[in-house]
């Protein structure tokens, strides 16, 4: 039951008042599945498309640690100065140029029943129309015995930071179908994402939940069923179907990062200042980030993940010709050309971050195999095919130091 191209493109947002640059989805091979191809010349720096996710959700530990984001679009809700104060641990931290902060607290609204916050009336209504009527706990928001709260607590107990997925993304998939008038359309859309074999699905679940994943997966399935069972999706609630749903989110969830402080820094970068003033402002920002690193470490953003139909059609390359970003400080994903892309050429992004792409072919393959279950055959990997299948001494040292295994998921979070 395949979704139509109208369904696929319905979540793309026009760029500068026009439709997305012409692209089409084609079948590539049994190994790769689908791919996204240009149907006209795309120039370097051009936004190829902007896409809204089918569903998105903030990571649960991220929300618990007071990274305040819109419950629908994940837009950061803190003022830039508030964000800096929390991240540095300095209540008196003051930012220059406060007028550059784009956060509009006067527009924020909360659900009148459960009090979750939204950045605007538009987001509150969009959430209510799509999934929140099913998921709203009402006055039981803080009741540990509420079925959804039990599910979330169970998830937090088995999936610790750095987070790469959220059980609530799956919950919003179910709630969307439960609320929908046209349930078949949403089921078709969710079925667009790649399917894996049973053994591959177990590898993904193992990666997310650890060595005791089978017992943990069954506990999560039972709590998920108690909270959300839907007859139209009965297959998703069986042991095999739940594992498949887990694997779908594990391999297709695109990381989303938003930050009011990052938006403020970008606005500062765009200021026209005298050389001395520019030097002072840059020095202030450099010191600010050093203070944040000392107090908070690498966790700077409101973080979550979403399912993007068109972006999920973009295959990986270690030498990508396009990249993803979230420049609007919300869940709208921008795909931008890194070089000129000719008509008929495949549009590829990288599932690795820039540092990972510079590692040896063997190391890149190890990351991709463990997290995405495929072996890359991009031009760079083919050109390096004669390299020995060992990591460099430096990379082996890194691994011996105990780098968190989830830290390898480079594309799970894209800088805003």
| Average pLDDT, consecutive stretches of 10 residues, N- to C-terminus, the chain (416 residues) | 56 52 84 89 95 97 96 98 96 97 97 97 98 97 96 94 92 98 95 77 76 86 97 95 90 93 96 96 97 92 96 94 94 96 96 88 88 86 82 50 43 42
Asked, as a colleague might, if the bond just before 62 is cis with ω within 30 of 0, I would say no
The answer to the question of residue 281 being in a domain is: no
- Answer yes or no: do 130 and 246 share one domain: yes
Contact in structure between 259 and 83 (CB atoms under 8 Å): yes
- Answer yes or no: do 134 and 206 share one domain: yes
- Answer yes or no: do 68 and 130 share one domain: yes
The answer to the question of residue 279 being in a domain is: no
- Terminal C-alpha separation, the chain: 35
Question: Distance between CA atoms of 336 and 44, rounded to whole angstroms?
Answer: 8
- Answer yes or no: do 237 and 384 share one domain: no
Total of domains in the chain: 3
* Whole-number pLDDT of residue 115: 96
Contact in structure between 327 and 335 (CB atoms under 8 Å): no
* Whole-number pLDDT of residue 4: 56
Which of 211, 236, 255 represents a domain boundary (last residue)? 255
- Answer yes or no: do 73 and 194 share one domain: yes
The answer to the question of residue 101 being in a domain is: yes
Question: Distance between CA atoms of 320 and 311, rounded to whole angstroms?
Answer: 14
- Answer yes or no: do 331 and 231 share one domain: no
* Whole-number pLDDT of residue 386: 83
* Whole-number pLDDT of residue 91: 96
The answer to the question of residue 410 being in a domain is: no
Which CATH number goes with the domain that contains 326? 2.170.270.10
What domain range is 98 assigned to? 58-255
Q: What's the whole-model pTM score?
A: 0.87
- Answer yes or no: do 76 and 215 share one domain: yes
CB atoms within 10 A of CB 375: 10
Hey, what are 44's tokens?
A: 């370097």
Classified as helix, coil or strand, 246 is helix
- Answer yes or no: do 47 and 62 share one domain: no
- Answer yes or no: do 232 and 330 share one domain: no
Q: How many CA atoms lie within 13 A of 38 on its CB side?
A: 24
Burial class (CB in 10 A: 0-12, 13-18, 19+), 328: middle
- Answer yes or no: do 107 and 189 share one domain: yes
Cα–Cα distances (Å) from 321 to 97, 251, 315, 363, in that order, read: 36, 21, 11, 21
**Beta pairing, strands 55-58 & 47-51:** unpaired
- Answer yes or no: do 345 and 370 share one domain: no
The answer to the question of residue 299 being in a domain is: no
- Answer yes or no: do 94 and 131 share one domain: yes
The answer to the question of residue 41 being in a domain is: yes
Which of 255, 274, 289 represents a domain boundary (last residue)? 255
The answer to the question of residue 405 being in a domain is: no
């Amino acid at each position: 039951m395949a979704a139509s191209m109208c369904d696929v493109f319905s979540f793309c947002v026009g760029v500068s008042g026009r439709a997305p640059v012409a692209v089409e989805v084609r079948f590539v091979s049994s190994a790769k599945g689908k791919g996204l191809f240009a149907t006209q010349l795309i120039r370097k720096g051009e936004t190829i498309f902007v896409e809204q996710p089918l569903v998105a959700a903030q990571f649960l530990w991220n929300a618990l640690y007071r990274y305040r984001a819109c419950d629908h679009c994940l837009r950061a809700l803190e003022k830039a100065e508030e964000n800096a104060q929390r991240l540095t641990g300095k209540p008196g931290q003051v930012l220059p140029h406060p007028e550059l902060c784009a956060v509009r607290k006067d527009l924020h609204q909360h659900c009148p029943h459960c009090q979750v916050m939204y950045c605007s009336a538009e987001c509150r209504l969009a959430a209510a129309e799509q999934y929140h009527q099913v998921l709203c706990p009402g006055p039981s928001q803080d009741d540990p015995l509420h079925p959804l709260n039990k599910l979330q607590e169970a998830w937090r107990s088995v999936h610790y930071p750095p987070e790469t997925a959220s059980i609530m993304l799956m919950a919003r998939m179910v709630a969307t179908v439960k609320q929908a008038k046209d349930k078949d359309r949403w089921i078709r859309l969710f079925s667009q994402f790649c399917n894996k074999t049973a053994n591959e699905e177990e590898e993904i679940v193992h990666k997310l939940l650890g060595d005791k994943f089978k017992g943990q997966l069954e506990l999560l399935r039972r709590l998920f069923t108690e909270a959300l069972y839907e007859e139209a999706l009965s297959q998703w609630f069986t042991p095999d179907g739940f594992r498949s749903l887990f694997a779908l989110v594990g391999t297709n969830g695109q990381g989303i990062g938003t930050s009011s402080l990052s938006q403020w820094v970008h606005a500062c970068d765009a200021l026209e200042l005298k050389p001395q003033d520019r030097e002072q402002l840059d020095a202030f920002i450099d010191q600010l980030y050093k203070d944040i690193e000392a107090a908070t470490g690498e966790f700077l953003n409101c973080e979550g993940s979403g399912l993007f139909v068109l972006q999920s059609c973009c295959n990986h390359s270690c030498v990508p010709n396009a990249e993803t970003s979230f420049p609007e400080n919300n869940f709208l994903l921008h795909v931008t050309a890194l070089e000129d892309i000719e008509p008929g050429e495949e549009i590829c992004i990288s599932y690795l971050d820039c540092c990972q792409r510079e590692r040896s072919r063997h190391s890149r393959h190890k990351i991709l195999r463990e997290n995405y279950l495929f072996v890359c055959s991009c031009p760079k990997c083919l050109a390096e095919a004669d390299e020995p299948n060992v990591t460099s001494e430096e990379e082996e040292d890194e691994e011996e130091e105990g780098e968190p295994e989830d830290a390898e998921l480079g594309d799970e979070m894209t800088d805003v």
